[in-house]
Amino acid sequence: MALERVADGVWLLRGDIRGAMNVYFIEEEGGVVQFDAGTKSMRKMAAATARELGGLTRVILGHAHADHRGTAPYMDAPVFCHPDEIADAESDQAISPYFDLSLLEVAPVRWLYPTLLKRWDGGPVKIAGTVSEGDEVAGFKVIHFPGHAPGLIGLWRESDRVALVSDVVYLVDSARLKPLPHGEASVPHPAFACNHQEAKRSLRRLAELEPKVVGAGHERPMRGEALCPVLEAAAEKY
């Protein structure tokens, strides 16, 4: 696992397989907010990191898929999510009901995913409250980006154009379990989407923000003045 500074007051903890799972910490008065919860195997390091950064005030789920809720039950802090994500967050199922793994092109990967999802999952999460479009979290605005998950949210800070977006955009080839080439991105694979066309619209909405930093749910953040064309092209990958 490795901790790196993403932007002013924003830290990224990477862990699990090849360090591809991401948990973000955002400084606020009284400690830090955790955005996204990674996988169960990251729970001890996430808790230790939160303590080192001043203590955890709350956990905000980007969405409730198994690889994004894994540490949440272990963080000893209230957990929040979008209202449309409560049912999935509090479910005891590691595989979301709308997943269609038969859409994955590579058979061994298709067979492996049920095992991986159960390994990554930390189990059901008790939701203490909700956050919705327009709410503020530690100086960031909540934006609803549905499609990959019904209640997927991102956090947007206009002042320095930083977007923390969970799985609005993929920097991994999830059908082959490997990183995408540097500088490439894609819309999340339809096998994991509740509404793939809506996921594309959400990715285009992210592009319209013209971010300079995009912290996704997997792999290292995207940075630069020309991310908009990359994000727009990513919306057409599937």
pLDDT, one tens digit per residue, over 26-73 is 999 999 999 999 999 999 999 999 999 999 999 999 999 999 999 999
At 153, is the pLDDT very low, low, confident or very high (cuts 50, 70, 90)? very high
Residue 165 pLDDT more than 90? yes
Contact 22, 1 (CB under 8 A): no
Least confident span in 101-105, 156-160, 178-182? 178-182
**C-beta neighbour count of 236 within 10 angstroms:** 11
Q: Which residues pair with 144 in a beta bridge?
A: 153
91-102: average pLDDT: 97
Residue 75 pLDDT more than 80? yes
Q: How far is CA 108 from CA 105, 171, 173, in A?
A: 9, 21, 14
How would you class 212 by CB atoms within 10 Å of its CB: exposed for 0-12, middle for 13-18, buried for 19 or more?
middle
Contact 213, 222 (CB under 8 A): yes
Residue 171 pLDDT more than 70? yes
Domains along the sequence of the chain with CATH: 2-234 (3.60.15.10)
Predicted confidence at residue 1, as pLDDT, reads: 58
Among the listed residues 163, 149, 165, 156, the one whose alpha carbon sits nearest the alpha carbon of residue 198: 149
pTM of the model: 0.97
**C-beta neighbour count of 226 within 10 angstroms:** 8
Residue 128's contacts (CB-CB under 8 Å, 6 or more residues apart) are: 58, 78, 79, 80
Question: Taking phi first (over 0 means left), then psi (-120 to 50 degrees means alpha), and beta for anything else, what does residue 8 get?
Answer: beta
Helices assigned H by DSSP within 78-146: 86-89, 107-120
d(CA 111, CA 228) in angstroms, rounded, equals 35
At 17, is the pLDDT very low, low, confident or very high (cuts 50, 70, 90)? confident
Among the listed residues 127, 189, 139, the one whose alpha carbon sits nearest the alpha carbon of residue 164: 139
